[in-house]
Amino acid sequence: MEGPNAPKQTKELLNVVVISPEEYERFRRAEEHDWTRVEQVQTRTADTDPNAVLAEVTAEVEAVRRDMYAHREAADTGGR
């Protein structure tokens, strides 16, 4: 079996996940939606300097990580 949904082999171990047909369909739709979004971004940024795109994406990822860290810290300290 080949493709993105094929079983993955790492360090000589085969990893397989068993899910219901309904769960698989939800996963498949979500994956399709995600790739559609990626393709939309690629189309929108086709004429943009790749370094500028990388810098913008990096800044956004860092902002999300800071926010997640702040929320985690607040939860760990009971919001104090």
pLDDT reading at 8 higher than 80: no
pLDDT recorded at residue 64: 94
Q: What is the mean pLDDT of residues 5-22?
A: 77
Cβ neighbours for 14, distance < 8 A, ≥ 6 positions apart: 7, 8
| Per-residue pLDDT tens digits for 32-69 | 999 999 899 889 889 999 999 899 999 999 999 999 99
Q: Give the pLDDT band (50/70/90) at residue 5.
A: low
| Burial category of 29 from C-beta neighbours within 10 Å (exposed 0-12, middle 13-18, buried 19 and up) | exposed
pLDDT reading at 17 higher than 90: no
